[in-house]
Amino acid sequence: MFLNLVKIEILKLRNSNIEWLLLISVVLSLIIGFLPIFGTNPTDFSNIVQMIMAYSSLFLPLITGVLATLLCYFEHQNGGWRKLASLPIKKYQIYLSKYLILLGLIFIFQFCFLLSMLAVSIINGVIRDVPIQAYIYTCVIGWVSCISLAAFQLALSMYFKSFATPTIINVFLTFPALLIANTEILSVIYPWSHPMISMLQTFIQTIGGDSGFLENGILLVFSLLISSCLFLLSGSYYSKIKEY
């Protein structure tokens, strides 16, 4: 029955207009990739670094929150929570099915960002020297770094009936990540900074450098695992006690 619940969530995405959010994300990433912010020499990958920095610090956390809100929008507007609860399923499976779909959507966004980086490199003439492996590692690690953030934002979206409230909260929690990423301890325990420090560190280390954002990789892994478990358990428990 859980798989049927996942299929229901996929069907509801047809009217969510997520493709427009995906298009906007790709276009903005491409624009940033062609701006001479960190330099004009494409062979030093400064344009890719600025793409990753903007995408991981702002776009990805905001996109994750918007996607989580969209996944709960139908239920909040049309009494869908009660309909889902009437199915022969365990209530926590409602949260887990939406969480699975949310991770799948984030993966699609990461794949499109990978294509955006490749497009910028190819258009700039850096074809033979494109570090495809670094691009792939960066996007995969970025996806993994969102597992705790996605769990929290989905629970937040289930709690608030308004579309605006969880979105505003996400915006206010996203922007401080730019400053927190420069701190040694807070950066690894603050979920909104996880995508930035993990994606930048992965890319720059893969091409032979050091971003300087991540001082303790092991602490980041533990923080990610602990926060993911905490948010998943909290979201599942709230789904179980929620009044439908």
**pLDDT score at 126:** 67
DSSP 130: -
| Confidence (pTM) | 0.92
Contact criterion met (CB below 8 Å) for 95 and 154: yes
Q: Inform me whether the pLDDT recorded for 80 exceeds 80.
A: no
Judged on CB neighbours under 10 Å (0-12, 13-18, 19+), 113 is: buried
Average pLDDT of the chain is: 86
Cβ atoms within 10 Å, residue 96:
19
Mean pLDDT on 139-163? 93
Confidence band (pLDDT; 50, 70, 90) for 138? very high
H runs (alpha helix) in 13-91: 18-34, 46-54, 60-78, 80-85
**pLDDT score at 213:** 63
Q: Which helix (H) or strand (E) holds 148?
A: helix 147-159
* Cα separation, 72 vs 101, whole angstroms: 12
Helices vs. strands in the chain: H and E counts, helices first: 13, 0
Q: Distance of CA 111 to CAs 36, 75, 117, 157, 193, Å?
A: 24, 28, 10, 25, 20
**pLDDT score at 3:** 79
Q: Inform me whether the pLDDT recorded for 203 exceeds 60.
A: yes
Contact criterion met (CB below 8 Å) for 98 and 71: yes
